[in-house]
Amino acid sequence: MIAALREAAIAAAVAFGLFVLLVGLKTEPGSAGTLILRERFGDVALLCGLVFTGRLLMALWRARRAAVEPGAPTRLAALTGRLGPWLAPALLATALLLPWLPGIGRSELDLGILVLTYVMLGWGLNIVVGLAGLLDLGYVAFYAVGAYAYALLAENFGLSFWICLPLAGILAAFWGVLLGFPVLRLRGDYLAIVTLAFGEIIRVVLVNWTELTGGPNGISGIPRPSFFGLPFSMGGEEGSFAAVFGLEPSPSHRVIFLYYLILCLALLTNWVTLRLRRQPLGRAWEAMREDEIACRALGINLTATKLSAFALGAMFGGFAGAFFATRQAFISPESFTFIESAIILAIVVLGGLGSQLGVAIAAIVMIGGFELFREFDEWRMLIFGGVMVAIMVLRPRGLVGTRTPTIALGERRKISAALVQEGRG
């Protein structure tokens, strides 16, 4: 108890040092363009008090908790393990029926579309990070390539969404290979920083190449998708979706269509990933994640393995980008900043690097949580960063970290989160 109190006091003293200037004194524009200081020492005292209590409770809780056997699945993991077989079908059924459930209006469906976009991006990045173990901090670049590819092709050449979608995916995959090629020799954190640099280069080019991309103003008036050639128009005239199917024209038709479109795209990503994991390519990815050098020694072609991971991940990013462009009808470089890459990465990390279900749940929790905290706009990112750190410190294998091995000798057993490794060294 004394030790806990002392630790808490130290923590509070440190917190005082951290906050006394940066929180205690706020710089505000005063008269004549100069800054003045406004004191807020009450807030500092409050923060120090919070840190003190927090640290005290943590110390007490730690002392009381019995030592958990390392390697044993934790309670949460055991719970998800038991619910696992039911959770995925239940989620899928909910997703399929969502537009028809009572109480689901336009805004809820919009949120659903947003969440599914991130689920798809998360699954796409999961191929690169979770399966192949290549930390990509510039994933948003491929999202941007897909979005701009669709916008430019549709605006300049009048191509329809269904022609542009594969083109956007192919272009993004091409960029994935192009960017993947130079970084083949790099590993781990170096790779992460180079992909970050690539992402930023693409964004800076988008901002400055005004003739092609419209610069910071972006591209507006991007054609909306049609129902396989039948436009969703409000007039209900001959040849529109509503007229052909004999329905009352309604704006919700397009939203529902978009919802199912992104659901199909996301499920396609999931299906491809799951199938590939059982094939030589997928196994090579996972082997490469566990140990690159051993992989090379076993005769796996690392170049092809890495590039295919980059290309496939990028392709799904490109699909998602094309969808984003057609849904928003407006894109600008603002939507493709580093923070977007960080959010997608956080979804993959929270989901437990490699677990498909985990990524879906993480996307629902995070993007849904984002919407809940929309009023506290400034605080959202702060909390989000804090959660990212907390997850790494407390549950580095993600919230849903158990995995069934793709291939096993004899009996299949669940692997606990703590024992799953991401290619060390």
Partner 1 sequence: MHHERPESGLAYALQQLINGVSLGMIYGLIAVGYTMVYGIIGMINFAHGDIFMIGAFASLIALLLLSAGGLMEGPAAILLVLVISVAITGLYGWAVERVAYRPLRGSFRLAPLISAIGISIVLQNFVQVAQGARPKPAEAVISGGIELMREGDFTVQLTYVQILIIALTLAVLAIFTVLVTRTRLGRAMRACEQDRRMASLLGIDTDRTISLTFVIGAALASVAGTMYLLRYGVIDFYIGFLAGVKAFTAAVLGGIGSLPGAVLGGLLIGLIETFWSAYFSVQYKDVAAFSILVITLIFLPTGLLGRQEVEKV
Summarize as ranges the residues that interact with partner 1 (CB under 8 A). 14, 17-18, 21-23, 25-29, 33-37, 129, 135, 137, 182-183, 185-186, 188-190, 192-194, 196-198, 200-201, 204-205, 207-208, 291, 293-294, 338-339, 342, 345-346, 349, 353, 378-379, 381-382, 384-389, 392-393, 396, 421-425
State the minimum distance, in angstroms, from the CB of residue 163 to partner 1.
32
User: What's the min distance (Å) between Cβ of 71 and partner 1?
Assistant: 14
Residue 90 has, within 13 A of its CA and on its CB side, a CA count of 6
Strands 219-220 and 330-331: antiparallel
The CA dihedral of 243, 244, 249, 254, to the nearest 10 degrees, is: -150
**Closest approach of Cβ 23 to partner 1, in Å?**
5
State the minimum distance, in angstroms, from the CB of residue 394 to partner 1. Answer: 8
State residue 219 phi and psi, 5-degree precision. -120, 130
CB burial of residue 209 (10 Å; 0-12, 13-18, 19+): exposed
Q: Which is nearer to partner 1, 21 or 97 (CB)?
A: 21
Nearest to 218 by CA among 202, 206, 235, 232: 206
Of the pair 65, 424, the CB lying nearest partner 1 is at 424
Q: In the bound complex, what is the minimum distance in angstroms from residue 320's beta carbon to partner 1?
A: 21
Of residues 146 and 423, the one with the C-beta less far from partner 1: 423
Q: Which is nearer to partner 1, 157 or 190 (CB)?
A: 190
Name the token pair of 342: 């960080």
Q: Please, what is the minimum distance in Å from the beta carbon of residue 352 to partner 1?
A: 12
Kindly write down the DSSP assignment for every residue of 66-98, as one continuous string: PPPPTTSPPHHHHHHHHHHHHHHHHHHHHHHHG
CA distance 31 to 109: 48
Nearer to partner 1, 167 or 191 (CB): 191
> In this complex, which beta carbon is closest to partner 1, that of residue 73 or of residue 423?
423
Shortest spacing between CB 166 and partner 1, in angstroms: 29
- Using the minimum distance from each CB to partner 1, give the nearer residue, 3 or 101: 3
List the structure tokens of 108. 């809820």
In angstroms, rounded to a whole number, what is the distance separating the alpha carbons of residues 241 and 232? Answer: 5
Pairing of strands 330-331, 35-39: unpaired
Our CB check for partner 1 shows the closer of 223 and 398 to be 398
CB of 215 to partner 1, least distance (A): 10
* Nearest one of 398, 418, 407, 202 to 287, comparing CA atoms: 407
On whether the CB atoms of residues 316 and 261 are closer than 8 A, the answer is no
DSSP 132-172: T----S-THHHHHHHHHHHHHHHHHH---HHHHHHHHHHHH
